[in-house]
Amino acid sequence: MIAYFDCFSGISGNMILGALVDAGLSVDFLKKELKKIDLENYSIKVKKVTRGHLSGTYLDVVTRDVKRRKLKDITGSINKSGLSSDVRKKSIGIFNRIAEAESRVHGVPKDRLHFHEIGDLDSIVDIAGAVIGLKKLGIKEVYASCVHTGKGFVKTRGGILPVPAPATAELLKGVPVYGGDIKSELVTPTGAAIITSFTGRFGEMPSMEYEAIGYGAGSKKLSIPNMLRVYIGKPVNAYAEDIIRVIETNIDDMNPQVYDYLMERLFGAGALDVFLTPAKMKKNRPGTVLTVLSGIENTDKMVSIIFRETTTLGVRSYEVNRKKLFRKVITIKTKYGSIRVKTGRCGNDAMTAAPEYEDCKKAAKKSKVPLRIIQEEAIKKYKKSQ
Domain containing residue 364: CATH number: 3.10.20
Residues 123/42, Cβ–Cβ less than 8 Å: no
Cβ of 114: how many Cβ atoms within 10 Å? 12
Q: Do 92 and 47 belong to one domain?
A: yes
pLDDT band at 66 (very low <50, low <70, confident <90, very high): low
Choose the final residue of a domain: 203, 236, 269: 236
Residues 27 and 94 in one domain: yes
What pairs with residue 332 in β-bridges?
A: 339
Q: What pLDDT was estimated at residue 347? A: 65
Choosing from 236, 261, 295, the residue where a domain stops is: 236
Name every residue whose Cβ is closer than 8 Å to that of residue 73 and which is 6 or more positions away in sequence: 119
Residues 124 and 246 in one domain: no
Which whole number is the average pLDDT over 73-88? 93
SS3 category, 233: strand
Residue pLDDT, tens place only, 209-261:
999 999 999 999 999 999 999 999 988 766 777 889 999 999 999 999 999 99
pLDDT in tens, 252-294: 999 999 999 999 999 999 999 999 999 999 989 999 999 999 9
* Of the residues 186, 204, 236, the one at which a domain ends: 236
Question: Which has the closest alpha carbon to 122: 69, 63, 169?
Answer: 63
Q: Which residue has the higher pLDDT, 20 or 347?
A: 20
Domain annotation covers residue 319: no
Backbone angles phi, psi at 301, to 5 degrees: -65, -45
H helical segments located in 137-257: 166-171, 189-198
pLDDT over 90 (residue 339):
yes
- Assess whether 56 and 84 both reside in one domain: yes
Q: How confident is the model at residue 116 (pLDDT cuts 50, 70, 90)?
A: low
CATH number for the domain spanning 294: value is 3.30.70.1380
Confidence class for position 206, pLDDT limits 50, 70, 90? confident
Residues 246 and 203 in one domain: no
- What percent helix, strand, coil does the chain show, rounded to 5? 35, 35, 30
On the question of pLDDT at 120 being above 80, the answer is no
**Mean pLDDT, range 147-172, rounded to an integer:** 91
For residue 59, tell me if it sits in a domain: yes
Rounded to an integer, the average pLDDT of 309-320 is 96
348 with 248, same domain? no
- Each residue's pLDDT tens digit, 46-59: 999 999 989 999 99
Please state which of the ranges 22-36, 91-105, 335-349 shows the lowest mean pLDDT. Answer: 335-349
Is residue 14 located within the same domain as residue 140?
yes
Does residue 117 carry a pLDDT above 60?
no
Closest residue by Cα to residue 311 from 253, 265, 237:
253
The closest alpha carbon to 338, from 301, 317, 315, 366, belongs to 366
Q: In terms of Cα–Cα distance, which of 134, 98, 100 is closest to 117? A: 98
Share of the chain above pLDDT 70, in %: 96
The C-alpha atoms of residue 168 and residue 177 are separated, in whole angstroms, by 12
Pair 113, 191 in one domain: yes
Q: Are 188 and 307 in the same domain?
A: no
**At 59, is the secondary structure helix, strand, or coil?**
strand
Q: How far is CA 37 from the centre of its chain?
A: 26
Task: Determine, yes or no, domain membership for 41.
Answer: yes
CA distance 35 to 38: 7
Q: What total number of domains does the chain contain?
A: 3
User: Computed over its alpha carbons, how large is the radius of gyration of the chain?
Assistant: 25
Based on the domain organization, do 328 and 362 belong to the same domain? yes
Q: Does residue 335 lie in a domain region?
A: yes
Report pLDDT for 188: 94
Residues 144 and 18 in one domain: yes
Query: Are 25 and 149 part of one and the same domain?
Result: yes
Q: Is residue 8 part of a domain?
A: yes
Q: Determine the structural domain holding residue 257 and report its residue range.
A: 241-314
Residue 194 maps to a domain: yes
